[in-house]
Amino acid sequence: VKTIIHCADLHLCAAPEEREYCLAVLDEIADLARRERAAALLFCGDLFDGFRDLEALRIEFRRRIEALPAGCAVVYIVGNHEPHGAGGQRAGAFDLGGIAVVEDGPFELLVRDGVELLCVPHQPSYSGYTDWKVPPKKTKLRLGLAHGLVTGMDVYAGPDDEESGECAGALDPDLFGRFEVDYAALGHIHARREKTIGACRLCYPGSARVWRKGEDGERGVYVLSCDDRVQGRFEPLASAGQYRVHDLPLGLDGGLDGVEECAASWGARDWIHLRLGGVVDDENAVAEVERRLRREWAGRVRRLDVSRDGVEVLEGIARHALARKFLAVWERGFAAAGPADRSLWLRARQLGLMQMRTIAGRSA
Ligand SMILES: [Mn+2]
């Protein structure tokens, strides 16, 4: 049994506020490869956030690759992000620690430790794949590495999805079946997705770190056990942290509690997004709440976003008897509601308080 690590969309970024965080995640991946005595470590595209990041971080990257055990082969296929800013330069022109860099389409077939790797770097279109001259499988197992959107993986590829934005060409899952791939090590979709189509297991581990807001859930890689077949397990990366969003209702006077409760789950690598809502007497109190939150928490997490676009202002609401009565009843219901109903209750709170505008107007 040999172990192969499947990683995708690490998006190493050289920006001062991102650099240390990204390299910490790379360190954890390298540690995992060492601990698992991995025969191979696969980077399935978007290893770097852009070409300038590749250039700026290549020495740090190389240092970590060179520290891996000699038995661990590293294979890197280029995604859609690395060509950004390349201006015709090639990733392979840089020394990334002597790893295999595959950037030319349509494919390259490598063999590492008795396992064939069909490497398909990102390309604008895969429509000609039926004409590719891929040699028949000679080893027990063949892994496919690709960076793109595979159709039929139940992924929403809406208009403002990064994943679909510049990737007009989708991959037909038949490509993997046709070329006898047992396991497709995929990149490009930042959420975790797995599916078996025909005899092939197709897996997206999701981004290996939180690249963009909304990327919630654990970040990680797949650890593959390969003998006659491939079995994968998802391995979370603690250093990647998580994206956590909290909807917090403000009191009528703009007061806020419950932050400490939320913060109990926060880690130093987390990206925290606090969405303030509610109906308040005076919006200036909310501005003060935001300043206080930033002062207190921004330094304790990787990134803190506070948005208060959902806050409505209704002067006099804090003294409004009906509003206070409504909130007292609401509090009891909210406390008894399960986590799944939380957002519904928050919405009801907002709608109920907004109705006070109509009632207040009528009684005036
Ligand atoms: Mn990506």
Q: What is the 304 CA–ligand 1 centroid distance (Å)?
A: 22
Query: Which pLDDT tens digit goes with each residue over 169-186?
Result: 899 999 999 999 999 999
Distance of CA 106 from the midpoint of ligand 1 (Å): 19
Cα 50 to ligand 1 centroid, rounded to whole Å: 10
- Separation CA 329–CA 66 (nearest Å): 63
Give dist(CA 149, CA 170) in Å, integer: 5
Written as six digits, the tokens of 337 are 């509601």
Distance 122 CA to ligand 1 centre (A): 11
Distance from the CA of 163 to the center of ligand 1, in angstroms?
Answer: 7
Mean pLDDT of the chain: 94
The pLDDT score that the predictor gives to residue 156 is: 66
CA of 257 to the centre of ligand 1 (A): 36
Element (H, E) at 62: helix 51-66
CA of 13 to the centre of ligand 1 (A): 12
CB 114 within 8 A of CB 142: no
Span 213-227, average pLDDT: 97
Question: Would the pLDDT of 264 be above 70?
Answer: yes
Q: What is the mean pLDDT of residues 7-11?
A: 98
Distance 189 CA to ligand 1 centre (A): 7
* pLDDT (average), residues 159-168: 50
What is the 115 CA–ligand 1 centroid distance (Å)?
Answer: 26
CA of 219 to the centre of ligand 1 (A): 13
> What separation in Å is there between the alpha carbon of 37 and the centre of ligand 1?
27
Average pLDDT value for residue range 327-351: 94
pLDDT band at residue 359 under the 50/70/90 scheme: confident
* Confidence (pLDDT) at 168: 58
- The DSSP symbol for 113 reads T
Distance from the alpha carbon of residue 306 to the mean position of ligand 1, in angstroms? 25
361: pLDDT confidence band, cut at 50, 70 and 90?
low
How far does the centroid of ligand 1 lie from the alpha carbon of residue 80, in Å? 7
Ligand 1 centroid to Cα of residue 285, in Å, is 39
40 contacts 115 by C-beta, under 8 angstroms: yes
Spatial separation of the C-alpha atoms in residues 343 and 340, rounded to whole Å: 7
What is the CB-side half-sphere exposure of residue 266 using CA atoms within 13 A?
A: 22
> Looking at 32-46, 90-104, 188-202, 343-357, which range is the least confident one?
343-357
The rounded Å distance from CA 197 to ligand 1 centre is 23
Mean pLDDT value of segment 82-102: 95
Ligand 1 centroid from CA 82, angstroms: 10
Tens of pLDDT, residue by residue over 37-79, are: 999 999 999 999 999 999 999 999 999 999 999 999 999 999 9
pLDDT of residue 159: 52
Tell me: pLDDT of 167 over 80.
no
pLDDT of residue 121: 97
CA of 146 to the centre of ligand 1 (A): 12
The string of DSSP letters for 196-210 reads EETTEEEEE---SS-
pTM: 0.92
Ligand 1 centroid from CA 30, angstroms:
20
How many A from CA of 77 to the centre of ligand 1? 12
pLDDT at 198 over 90: yes
The per-residue pLDDT for range 102-158, each reduced to its tens digit, is 999 899 999 999 999 999 999 999 999 999 999 999 999 999 999 999 999 877 655
Contact (Cβ atoms closer than 8 angstroms) between residue 40 and residue 254: no
Could you tell me the CA-to-CA distances from 220 to 118, 119, 228 in Å, in that order?
23, 21, 25
pLDDT, mean of residues 286-308: 97
